C-alpha cells in the first residue's frame, strides 16, 4: 500500500512516516501544495495525510484535487488550527477523519489502523464485485470457489454438456447461468426446469410439449421447454429425480437432437446445450438402477462439484456483506453496521442449507433490524432452540415420537412460510419436492 504525507513540518512528516511503515505503507512526502499536486498526478495513493494549512496553499483545496483525481484515496486531515467549520468542510469534501495537533501517537496509530482495515475491505469488496459481475452474482474468494470459477472459464465457451453436483443451496443454478452467460449462446434463451417440482406425467409434457387433444385437458397445443430453449441453454435441476421412462426419452433427444411433442407424429430438430444438476450421489442411483448409466455419461462430459458452505467458511463474511446490501435495498431498510458478533456466530453455524440458509437468516435479521444495526437476535436464539429440543424429561421420552413431532412442526412451518407452495417449502428445508411430499404424507397418514 502507498501513502503520502503533505505537511510543512519535517518532524511531523518523520513521525508519521515511521508510524505508517509499521503498518506496511510505502510513503512519499511533500511539504507544499505544488509538490503534492505533482505527486498526486503521477501516482496512486491508498491514503493521504494532509495538513490543513500549508504556507501559501490550502489543505482543503488539495483535498478537492485528491478526490477529483482518485475518489477511493482515503484522506486524513491534520491541523493545529481546529474548528468545527473546517472539520465539517473537510468531511463534506470526503475526508475520512480529522485529527488535531499535537496528536497522541497511540491515537494516530488507532486511526491509521482503522484506515488500513477500511482500505483492505474496499479492495476485497471491489474484487468481489468483479467476481459477482462476471459469475452471475456467485460470491466467494475461497480456494474452493476459485476452482469453480476457473473451470467455468475453461468450459463455458465450448458447446458441451455439464453436470453440476452439490448439496441444496450451494448455487448450482447460478453456476449454470454463468456458464450460459459466458458461452456463445448468451444472447439466446436460458430455460430452467426443476425435475422434482412436477409429477412425472406433467414433466414429460412440459419438456417435450404436446398437441391439441393429445390427452384430457389438452385444449390447445403447447410448446415444450426444450423447444423454448432452442439456440440457448436448457438447465435440468434435480436430474436425479427424473422418472426412468422419461430418462430414456431425454437420452434419445441428447443423441439425435430431435423432439416429438406428445400426440404428434412429427419430429423437430432442436439445438440446445444441456446443463444438469443434482444434490444426490448419482453413483448410488446407478448401482440401484434408478438412474440410467448411459444418460449419466451423456450428461457428465464435464462435472463441476459445488463446495458446501462448510467447506468455504472464509467466504461467509463476504456473503453476509453481499446479502446485507442486496436485501436491505429490497426491504428499503438502511443497515449502517453489522455487529462483529453476528459474523462470528455465523462462522460457527453448520449451515446444512448452505448459502440459501445463510441468506434466509440475513433476510430475517434485516426485517427484524432496528436502528440500522444488524445484530444476533435470530442467531443467538438458535442454540437455545436446539437445547430445548434436546431436553429429556425425568420420565424419559419416546425418541421416534419426539423427533417425528419436531419434523411435523418444521414441515408445517415451512408450508406456512411458503404460503402453501410445496416446492418452495421443500427448498426452505433443503429437501427435494418428492422427499418433502413423502414426509408430509407420512405424518398425515399417522392421524
pLDDT tens-place string over residues 368-379: 888 888 887 644
What does the mean pLDDT of the chain come to?
A: 84
Domain boundaries in the chain?
2-127, 143-305, 312-383, 392-447
Q: What was the pLDDT predicted at 138? A: 84
Question: Please, where are the H alpha helices in 209-339?
Answer: 225-228, 244-256, 282-288, 293-299, 316-330
Q: Work out whether the CA dihedral 407, 413, 415, 420 comes out positive or negative.
A: positive
Read off the pTM: 0.60
SS3 163: strand
pLDDT at 175 over 70: yes
Q: Taking CA 230 as the corner, what is the angle to CA 225 and CA 234, rounded to the nearest 5 degrees? A: 55
| Grid cell in block for residue 321 | 456483506
**Which CATH code is given to the segment(s) 2-127?**
3.40.50.2300
Cα gap 3→24, rounded to integer Å: 10
Q: What was the pLDDT predicted at 280? A: 86
pLDDT at 281 over 90: no
Question: Using an 8 Å Cβ cutoff, are 433 and 418 in contact?
Answer: no
pLDDT tens digits, one per residue of 130-144: 555 445 568 888 999
Average pLDDT over residues 434-446: 76
Q: What was the pLDDT predicted at 384? A: 41
More confident residue, 155 or 401: 155
Q: What was the pLDDT predicted at 84? A: 61
b/e for 273-289, b at 16 or more Cβ within 10 A? Answer: bbbbbbbbebeebeeee
Q: What was the pLDDT predicted at 294? A: 94
**Which CATH code is given to the segment(s) 143-305?**
3.40.50.300
SS3 154: helix
pLDDT at 128 over 70: no
**DSSP 8-class letter at 35:** H
Question: Using an 8 Å Cβ cutoff, are 211 and 166 in contact?
Answer: no
pLDDT tens digits, one per residue of 69-80: 888 888 888 877
CATH C-level class of 312-383: mainly alpha
Q: What was the pLDDT predicted at 67? A: 85
SS3 50: strand
Average pLDDT over residues 375-390: 52
- Can 2-127 and 143-305 be said to share one CATH topology? yes
Cβ within 8 Å of residue 141, ≥6 positions away: 124, 127, 128, 131, 314, 315, 318
Average pLDDT over residues 13-37: 88
More confident residue, 386 or 349: 349
Question: Using an 8 Å Cβ cutoff, are 208 and 226 in contact?
Answer: yes
Cα gap 279→172, rounded to integer Å: 9
Average pLDDT over residues 396-424: 81
Q: What was the pLDDT predicted at 373? A: 84
Q: What was the pLDDT predicted at 386? A: 47
pLDDT at 247 over 70: yes
**pLDDT class for 383, splitting at 50, 70, 90?**
very low
Q: What was the pLDDT predicted at 130? A: 54
Name the CATH code of domain 392-447 (choices 2.60.40, 2.40.128, 3.30.230, 1.10.10). Answer: 1.10.10
Identify which of 23-32, 87-96, 289-298 has the greatest average pLDDT: 289-298
Average pLDDT over residues 29-53: 87
**pLDDT class for 392, splitting at 50, 70, 90?**
low
pLDDT at 234 over 50: yes
Q: What was the pLDDT predicted at 101? A: 78
**pLDDT class for 125, splitting at 50, 70, 90?**
low
b/e for 35-68, b at 16 or more Cβ within 10 A? Answer: ebbebbeeeebbbbbbbbebeebebbebbeebbe
Cα gap 86→101, rounded to integer Å: 14
Q: What was the pLDDT predicted at 378? A: 45
pLDDT tens digits, one per residue of 287-331: 889 999 999 999 999 999 999 999 999 999 989 988 998 899 888
Count of Cβ atoms closer than 10 Å to residue 137 Cβ: 15
Pairing status of strand 233-237 against strand 268-269? unpaired
SS3 166: coil
Q: What was the pLDDT predicted at 239? A: 95
Amino acid at each position: 500500500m502507498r501513502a503520502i504525507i503533505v505537511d510543512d513540518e519535517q518532524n511531523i512528516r518523520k513521525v508519521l512516516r515511521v508510524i505508517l511503515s509499521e503498518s506496511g505503507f510505502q510513503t512519499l512526502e511533500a511539504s507544499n501544495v505544488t509538490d503534492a499536486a505533482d505527486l498526486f498526478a503521477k501516482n496512486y495513493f491508498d491514503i493521504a495525510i494532509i495538513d490543513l494549512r500549508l504556507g501559501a496553499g490550502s489543505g482543503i483545496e488539495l483535498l478537492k484535487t485528491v478526490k477529483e483525481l482518485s475518489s477511493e484515496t482515503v484522506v486524513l486531515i491534520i491541523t493545529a488550527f481546529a474548528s468545527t467549520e473546517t472539520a465539517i468542510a473537510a468531511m463534506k469534501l470526503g475526508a475520512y477523519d480529522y485529527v488535531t495537533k499535537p496528536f497522541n501517537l497511540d491515537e494516530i496509530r488507532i486511526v491509521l489502523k482503522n484506515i488500513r482495515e477500511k482500505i483492505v475491505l474496499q479492495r476485497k469488496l471491489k474484487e468481489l464485485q468483479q467476481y459477482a459481475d462476471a459469475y452471475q452474482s456467485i460470491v466467494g474468494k475461497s480456494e474452493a470457489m476459485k476452482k469453480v470459477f476457473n473451470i467455468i472459464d475453461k468450459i463455458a465457451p465450448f458447446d458441451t454438456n455439464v453436470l453440476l453436483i452439490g448439496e441444496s443451496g450451494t448455487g448450482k443454478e447460478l453456476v449454470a447461468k454463468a456458464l450460459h452467460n459466458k458461452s456463445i449462446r448468451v444472447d439466446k434463451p436460458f430455460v430452467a426446469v426443476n425435475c422434482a417440482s412436477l409429477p412425472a406425467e406433467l414433466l414429460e409434457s412440459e419438456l417435450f410439449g404436446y398437441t391439441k387433444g393429445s390427452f384430457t385437458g389438452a385444449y390447445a397445443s403447447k410448446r415444450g421447454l426444450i423447444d423454448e430453449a432452442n439456440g440457448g441453454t436448457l438447465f435440468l435441476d434435480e436430474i436425479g429425480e427424473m422418472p426412468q421412462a422419461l430418462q430414456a426419452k431425454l437420452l434419445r433427444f441428447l443423441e439425435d437432437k430431435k423432439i416429438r411433442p406428445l400426440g404428434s407424429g412429427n419430429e423437430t430438430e432442436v439445438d440446445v446445450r444441456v446443463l444438469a444438476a443434482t444434490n444426490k450421489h448419482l453413483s448410488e442411483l446407478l448401482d440401484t438402477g434408478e438412474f440410467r448409466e448411459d444418460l449419466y455419461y451423456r450428461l457428465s462430459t464435464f462435472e463441476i462439484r459445488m463446495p458446501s458452505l462448510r467447506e468455504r467458511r472464509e467466504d461467509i463474511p463476504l456473503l453476509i456483506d453481499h446479502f446485507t446490501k442486496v436485501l436491505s435495498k429490497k426491504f428499503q431498510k438502511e443497515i449502517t453496521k453489522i455487529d462483529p458478533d453476528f459474523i462470528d456466530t455465523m462462522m460457527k453455524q453448520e449451515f446444512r442449507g448452505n448459502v440459501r440458509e445463510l441468506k434466509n437468516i440475513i433476510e430475517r435479521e434485516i426485517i427484524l433490524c432496528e436502528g440500522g444495526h444488524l445484530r444476533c437476535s435470530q442467531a443467538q436464539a438458535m442454540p437455545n432452540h436446539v437445547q430445548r429440543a434436546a431436553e429429556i424429561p425425568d420420565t424419559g421420552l419416546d425418541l421416534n415420537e419426539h423427533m417425528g413431532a419436531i419434523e411435523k412442526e418444521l414441515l408445517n412451518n415451512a408450508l406456512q412460510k411458503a404460503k402453501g407452495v410445496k416446492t418452495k417449502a421443500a427448498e426452505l428445508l433443503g429437501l427435494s419436492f418428492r422427499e418433502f411430499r413423502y414426509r408430509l404424507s407420512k405424518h398425515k397418514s399417522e392421524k
